[in-house]
Amino acid sequence: MLSFKAQCEGLAPRALVMFAAGFLVVAATLSQQAEAVPPATIIGPIPADAAGSGSRNAIHSASAIELAAHGYSEEEFFIEGVANTYKADSANPMADASIESEGHRYRTRLVVRRPQPADFNGVVVVEWMNVTGGVDKDIDWWQSGEHLVANGYAYVFVSAQQMGIDNIISWSPERYAGLNATHDGMVSGDASSYDIFSAVAKSIAREGQALPAGAVDILAGLRARQIIATGHSQSASRLANYLNGIHTLDPVFDGFIVHGGGGIIRDDQPVKIFKLMAETDMLRRAATPQPNTDNFRQWEVAGSSHVDVPFEIEYGKVRNQQEGLSIEGVTPRDSGCDLPAYSTVPFRDVMNAAFEHMVRWLDDGVAPPIADPIQLARAFPTVEFARDDSGNVLGGIRLAEHAVPTAKNTGLNTGANRFCFLYGSHEPFDTATLNALYPTKADYLERVNAVVEKNVADGFILPAAAERTRLEAEASTLFER
């Protein structure tokens, strides 16, 4: 049989033109088939009672940050349409997936937090809600919401998975009646979630783009310069799957911040991918590292835990607010773990810096700095981290709270609570250890200052985090001598 090239060479010019035209038609048809995400309809905003009222007609997972005081609004919308399901390439999980089935009805919700037009920085962050434990949780907002608000980002979260939808229906059957992402039980394993997530991003109007006539503008006139996806833990794993086989079929995001989960992620696509990992997260992944490339960065934060103190406090505020209780003085829950739970190493400081690097990466092509990985004592048969004499891990991004320690902070824990392994630990040093490390408080402050200056210079934290760290060190009562 003749090769494709030989067959073309044997055709008359007119036949070749006709053949080429036919090929273009076929190519166009294939291209249309690759347009994977069907259109969807936005409904809303859905009227809601005030957050903190205790009403079940309020927005579930409403922000505990006082948005109005910062010129922000918060609105909830429903989105409905049909989704495809996809089949991964069994021989190559990092190849484009194929559409397995079509036409699966869904109706779910999204929540939009947006600034006034004069404050908008042009960047929209879209978070895939986490459903671990059954509760719909916007964890990346809990970590970086204050930073996003202070810097004029718009933010959208998406309830893409049925477990989260079931949770909010249980909380308010009347408000959320009719939401479903299973097509009446025909779709399992949250297979529609990928198109739901894409459809929400497609509903965001970009600069120079007009929405279709009659379409609801969820940003009320704001136009996005960049759209960045984010998600934590279980949601990060969904984003990794999405990146590896589905997003390439119909790209809608400019960048991804994959936080605390996900395996190897393909980087042969034009989007920028930032993977942010706590010490906890590397226990499963340190043996199979992914190299940094032009489109991929991974940062690992030494001494940090998958669930940390800020996470716990923000979660507590949201829970209290939904019940109409005070959000003041919220403290982490009693973990029931073998070690005192929740690292105090502020992962959010690194995450905030990552958002700013991502924006610059997309705008100007300036890649984020490369960070050292957490050091291993061994990789096989099981991962064991290298640690100093106090038990604090070596390597990684070393914030002052870890590099100038007053406690042993780790990403590891055990206990009867099934989530203890995510909580990490915090064990304060005794007085003798502190005295041996820091003869005077001035010595301690000098070392803290040196670390924060280096971290700012290296690009791992922002100046605001450096200043807060200095003030907290100065206010410490551990050094009364």
Q: For residue 243, is it within any domain?
A: yes
One domain for residues 404 and 262: no
Q: For residue 345, is it within any domain?
A: no
Taking only the tens of pLDDT, the chain with its 481 residues reads 333 223 333 333 323 233 233 323 333 333 334 457 999 999 999 999 999 999 999 999 999 999 999 999 999 999 999 999 999 998 898 899 999 999 999 999 999 999 999 999 999 999 999 999 899 999 999 999 999 999 999 999 999 999 999 999 999 999 999 999 999 999 999 999 999 999 999 999 999 998 999 999 999 999 999 999 999 999 999 999 999 999 999 999 999 999 999 999 999 999 999 999 999 999 999 999 999 999 999 999 999 999 999 999 999 999 999 999 999 999 999 999 999 999 999 999 999 999 999 999 999 999 999 999 999 999 899 999 999 999 999 999 999 999 999 999 999 999 999 999 999 999 999 999 999 999 999 999 999 999 999 999 999 999 999 999 999 999 998 876 5
Q: For residue 90, is it within any domain?
A: yes
Q: For residue 336, is it within any domain?
A: no
Q: For residue 362, is it within any domain?
A: no
Q: For residue 4, is it within any domain?
A: no
Q: For residue 319, is it within any domain?
A: no
3-state secondary structure the chain: CCCHHHHHHCCCHHHHHHHHHHHHHHHHHHHHHHCCCCCEEEECCCCCECCCCCCCCECCCCCCCCCHHHCCEEEEEEEEEEEEEEECCCCCCCCCCEEEEEEEEEEEEEEEEECCHHHCCCEEEEEECECHHHCCECHHHHHHHHHHHHCCCEEEEECCCHHHHHHHHHHCCCCCCCCECCCCCCCCCCCCHHHHHHHHHHCCCECCCCCCCCCCCCCCCCCECEEEEEEECHHHHHHHHHHHHHHHHCCCCCEEEEECCCCCCCCCCCCEEEEEEEHHHHCCCCCCCCCCECCEEEEEECCCCCCCHHHHHHHHHHHHHHCCCCCCCCCCCCCCECCCECCCCCHHHHHHHHHHHHHHHHHHCCCCCCCCCECEEECCCCCEECECCCCCECECECCHHHHCCCEEEECCCCECCCCHHHHCEEEECCHHHHHHHCCCHHHHHHHHHHHHHHHHHHCCCCHHHHHHHHHHHHCCCCCCC
Residue after which a domain boundary falls, among 222, 239, 270: 270
Residue after which a domain boundary falls, among 236, 270, 304: 270
Q: For residue 54, is it within any domain?
A: yes
How many structural domains does the chain have? 2
**Residues of the domain holding 390:** 376-474
Does pTM top 0.85 for this prediction? yes
One domain for residues 115 and 260: yes
Residue after which a domain boundary falls, among 219, 252, 270: 270
